[in-house]
Every structure is written in structure tokens, then in C-alpha cells.
Amino acid sequence: MADLDALRQELVTANRILAKENVLDSFGHISCRHPDNPNHFFMSRARAPEVLTEEDIMEFTLTGEVVGPTPAPGKPYSERFIHGAILEARPDVVSVIHNHSPSVIPFSVTGRKMRPIMHMCAPIGNDIPTWDIRTKFGDATNLLVTNMDMARDLAKTLGGRRVSLMRGHGSVIVGKSVREVVFNANYMEKNADMLIKALGMGEVEYLSDGEVATADKGRAGFTLERGWENWCNKVGRPYISQEWEMGPGFSKTDQ
């Protein structure tokens, strides 16, 4: 049996870090698949990432129904379906972030492709699609993903990748652990910010497919831990070395 208290702490720390690093503000969320039940996941109730606590973490089915705790600490996020549909479509994924990461949004509304321009950002990949809610659900939605139909359509666009942008809204990013997805979301925001600056200066030299593949493959657990320890310190949360099992797909050697 996994240590679910440790998982709740990990999710709270992840929320604090993502807020501090400008990936989440009062909105956006991170989930983690239940380590003992792949058909459930954990995520906070609808509350800002900077103020939520362990008591706010709720358990859901992959179709977004509340499993617990009872009584519920509050109202769930209306976009929780994003997490369920991606975890349903991707058995390899343990953790999902949906964000409105501000530097990333311009790439969802212009023809400009977001691609990594710096080695730390390589894992976002060279092939990042943009999901447009309008294509299937018309031009009069509020752009929010509020049911499984919409969320499964988004998961389809994501396919087997790590990232999909969402037109006029934000993005989703997935990983094999909370620490991996937080790391890559932080560096995706940095990459987008640097890329906007570089585009203003002229022609941009992107990482090649070979460089992306090699940098991604060489990303060891040590790198993720180094970032996580530093970010824990920045947000005043205890650093707990990752000794416990995060769920399917997680291993200390390949994270």
C-alpha cells in the first residue's frame, strides 16, 4: 500500500512550486494517479494552488466522480475531466498539469510553433499540437473543458506526447511522476518566455530532433531531485527524498 499522506504532501508542494514558478496562478491544477488503483486519481478541491492544503486533496474516478473524502472539503475543479480523460487514454502517465502558463499562451493563438530552444527544456518535444475546442464544440463555448466528451477530445489531440497547447486557454503537460511533470512545466514556461525574446531578435535555431531525444534520454532522477530540492526551499516546504513508489511507470532510474 502506498503512503497516501506522502502523496497528498507531494501534491501540495507541487502546487506551491508551480505557483511560485509562474505556471499556475489562482487557477490551474495538478493531479496524480492513485498508486494502488490506476482508475482513480488525486487532486485538490477548487482552490488556488498557493493556499490549498493536504485537507483539500480529493480522490476522483477517471470520469471525474468524487470518491472521497466524505464530507467533501469543497467544490471540485470544473475542469477535472481533463485529468481523468488523459489518465484514461494514457496508462503510462502518472501526473497531469493543466495550466494557463502565461508565456505559453501566445503560441496557442498564433501560427508560431513552440519548440525547445534550450537543453533543459528538451522534454517538451519538437512536436507540440494545439487543441482547439471550437473544432468539435463550436464557437460559443466559454473555452473550459467541463465534461468527458471535451476532455477525451483534448486527450486525442495530445496523443502519445507530453504536451498539448489549448487555443486561447493554456496547455496540458503529462509525466511519469509529480516531480517530472513539475520540472517540465517549469521549463516549458521558461522556454516559451525565452523563445518569445529570441523571435524578437531574429531567426531562431531550435534544438534538433536528435538533440531533443538525447537530452530527454539522459535526464536522470538526480536532475529532477536537484530542481525539486531547490524549489521546495523556495516555497518553504520540506524536501523529502523520493523513496516511495509514485505509481505505474515510475522508477528511480528512468524518471
Active-site residue set: 79
114 and 171 Cβ atoms separated by less than 8 Å: no
